[in-house]
Structure 1
Amino acid sequence: MRDQLFGGRYQLVRELGKGGMGEVWEARDETLGRSVAVKVISLLAGGGSHGDQARARFLREARITARLQHPNVVTIHDLGEASTEGDRVPFLVMELIRGEGLDARLRRGAVTLRDAARWGAQISDALADAHDAGITHRDIKPSNIFIAPSGIVKVLDFGIARAADPDATADPLTQTGFIVGTPSYMAPEQARGLPEPASDLYALGCLLFEMITGQLPFQAADTVGYLAAHLTQDPPTPSAVRPGIPAAWDDLVLTLLHKAPHQRYPNAAALSRALRQLVHTPESPAGAATLPATKADIPVAPEPGEYLLATSIGAEGTVRLWDPATGRPVSQPLTGHTGTVFRMAFSPDGRFLATGSMDTTVRLWETATGQLVGEPLTGHTDTVEDVAFSPDGRLLATGSLDSTVRLWDPATGQPVGDPLTGHAGHVLRVAFSPDGRLLATGSRDWTVRLWDPATGHPVGSPLVGHTNNVWANVFSSDGALLITHDEDNTVLLWDPAAGQPVGQPWTGPINGAMGVVSSPDSLSLVVSITGGEDSTVRLWDPTTRQPFGQPLHTHTSAPLYLALSPRISHRTR
């Protein structure tokens, strides 16, 4: 089929893989001039009832998967049929993902606990979105997980998913009792022909066990052996297989591998939060970390003293520090700038706050005392619109109305390298990725640019999609998303590796404003500000769209600017 043109626009280039249902090809979209992946029914499916079922299953995959719009689910671009060797063959056009399957990665052995937590959280996010849409995947396994070079995870092949609605369950291909899945990852209830969303969590538990130990929780010689083990045997603790795994990981995995679905995590969103708390868990002896209890799904709620929020109001040039858990200020105002402070950033350890001002300077403050540290940083020739610390705290990036970005050593107050130039308008926002390898900048030229802070060189092409000035850009905690906000009060989500938008825009309240804010440890929150004489600031978790903490009543109608500290005290639930 090489070089064949599908749908009059997709020219097949090379075969990427083959599975029980279809073949996947890299193709060239001749209309848009981009590379895509095209999945077609395997020509080995044949005709007759077997071929008809394979065709029906393929078409159902297209309809179900196309309903999902999530950065961790492969994006469906198009669906059609083509004539191949006398047959009408349906095909699915998907985004082309560079990287490798998790199955290939696991053939090299166990992964680090950090990678297992990061990747597992992204898989959980994809499942949460699917479950909310009434879709159960039913075949979570390494070959259905793809890892891009950026660390972004994509969940593939919802082709055997069960849509939990009356119309879908009427489909003979998805009726209860029809067992579909991979035996070595199959939940007990799914083995009995009764899959449910919790079955995906069980399969993910098997996958996480394999990721951190290098082997599956159960060993068997055949399908019957695997199904019997899932139904009757207790799994070992991961630390019994691989010494040194913390107790928190044992608890999480064994919770997922409960025989009873209701004893697992209440949903995929709760599992995602638990995994993200384990991202920084060291590979140390058992007992080194704690795990949040498996309570019902609740909004993230900070505790008093856990975070600081910095605000700057209007043209005062004054900064205040708040506790978002109580909504109360915690110090006297920080004064010293002679112009409006537009943006602020906490250092990764929360000890310092950097502020940029209309007076063209950048200042550093001790958060514990509110005292100024050293001399102001000077070099910009116009208003400093934004400041950001690198994740290791060794660099400070600043963006200015002079259309440049500067890098500084915050310990010495000296510039690092030459200014970064390329934007055709004022630079309004700067943000580092969680691993420090990317710097994102937003501008009045309506674009977002990515840079390598080590070299000062641009990475890829500008991200184009906003229709007004880009007022904010922050990365998600795993670096899989870049969240940007423009003057039209719209929040966009981007895949920084692909340079493409994902999902739907998020628009602000009618009587107020929308924005985004991120802490140095990459907790990203959406901010809504109700307008009027007594503005109220509300923080939201962008993943769950649930409130974070209590509202802040600022008692002002003047413009408000925000910064969020890293977590100061460890919370256990």
Structure 2
Amino acid sequence: MLEGSQIDRYRLLQSIGHGSAGEVYLAEDSRIAQRVAIKLIRIETENKALSGTEKRHFQREAKAIARLDHPNILPLYDYGEENIEGIKFAYLVMPFRQEGTLADWFEQYVNSKQPPIDDVLHFIEQAASALQHAHDRQVLHQDIKPSNFLLRSRSDRPDQPDLQLTDFGIARFYITSAQTSQSIRGTPAYMAPEQWNGHPTPASDQYALAIMAYQLLTGQLPFRGSLEQLMLQHLEQQPKGPSLCNPALHREVDIVLSLALAKKPEERFASVSAFARAFYLAVTQSASVELSPLSPLSPVTPLTEEAPQANVDSCAENIQATLTITPAEARSGVTRTLTLALGHKIQVVVPPGASNGQILRLPYPQRSSPSGTPMSTNSLILTILVQEAPRKAALSGIVEHLHTPFRALQAYSNKTFVPRSLPGKLSRGKAIVLGGLIALIILAGSGLLLINNAANQRNANTARIAAMASARANLNPYPPGGGTLIINDPLQDNSKNYGWEELTHPARDCHFSNHAYLVQELQPKALAACTAQNMNFSNFVLQVQMTFLTEGFGGILFRADIASSRLYYFQVISDGEYFLYLYRDGQMAHSSQLTPDHATIPASIFHQGIKHPNLLAVVARGPAIDLYVNHHHLTTITDNTLSHGQISFIASGFFSPIKVAYSDIKVWKL
């Protein structure tokens, strides 16, 4: 211990903590009688001259901090080298913040109430501002966590301190084109996948900040367990949405955090400041309906640097798995032992008569942590896949005519849609062959597109973007911005006089239900369109929130002339594929697919399956058409065939009626 030692004009008073590369002391500057914090890094001993790594590490830290001039970054007062009792130290002199860290501040809410939402927004905004300043100067932090944010009191608002980012001890310059290897640094509970691989980017700091935001909103870390478990989870698993941990949060918060926590850095927000802005808009939408405290069943846990091994957690993940069995086993039933992702084994019993795509919800045995503490009890969600049996018998009707693979028919005909992949989908080649044989019939005035061509089976499904905002969300969030908000409709009724169809047709139904606009396809293999009669746009941004109530297709028709069947169709499938089609008339042979085959929304972006809302957007500016899902840019298409028209929402399916709910439409006129 070095208490009482003198370093230049600084007298060390007491040790107050350990940084990433050394020990931190409270000291007094004898020249001005001011208390400061000094970080010491041992760089040489009397017995051994250490490698130049420590010296370079210190010099890098000093220079990096010195050039960062920002109110939310702890400034550097002084630095140098000093020999103490034959040992050479490098030292950094910084302000002493007696208020403690953000982790200390959060402890007041342990096993109590949820932190005030405006404090959470305040902290994330300041943290992002500090990081953006560092990134703009080619500096990464690589260890973002609550204990690395010091608090500074505010006289105008003593109950809401400011943050100052510290401990750039592992900060390192990044050069986009650099090919040099990098060592793994950071705190496991907060480390992005690429950081585990030793290749951090600015998006790695964004990822860690999103983890911290998740904690502040829910009281829980999204990933917990041993070091090995944490690495696997960061690399492969998606966290449960924070709205499931804190029901007062809007689903928009889930979407924003899922983007910032994408496994690939290029799939995250373009910058940490862009993440902070989206986070603000999403959370204030929640705040507008008054955030309630966490349930007593969801205790807030301390913001520690390491994830707890066990915790009573109302938002614990269900375990999901897939089991493939033979047709014989499906008929007679079977007992299997599954080895799950983290090596846990469980015996499952599949009952006789199981069908392909069937989902079994099974109790998951209570587990214990290494210390013997019981962990939370989850459910095992098991999807049954039945191996395809050889089939020579002809299938009847349209299935026989199109030679659709039997497995695909099972997947679409079962009540439960097979998650993720859908084996045996109709190929593009078959679609082209059939395109000249079967016409797409559009019933003028009815808004119904009857798809007799199963080659167009992917037609469907887009659009529901939930307006991410309070009053401040009235700004167009899609690049390059601009435009005037002319429609802001929650789609709960027709009171805004946009003329949304309300009718029941033999093949479709359009009506308002449960605070949304419900589009139903009542006849299999039909494309049901529900249209706003009083909307006609040329250059615009449209966003709407879409929720599948059954598996199938949904989407948006835009620049549409329903009567003459001329339209663009942005289609999203509930398993994550998307398409953009151009219809020139009612003939399928005259239509064009403007996006590539098998275009897929990244799994980290799109919420697959039913009852999971997704935000969809179309930006149409002249011939340029940009498509977005959950604020993630999918593609830009250039086509000048259609210049203006109506808006419709879609529901479609092959072997069972489809229901899709739309809400919170916003339109900006460009």
Alignment TM-score, normalising by the size of structure 2: 0.41
The structure that has the greater radius of gyration is 2
Q: TM-score, normalised by structure 1?
A: 0.47
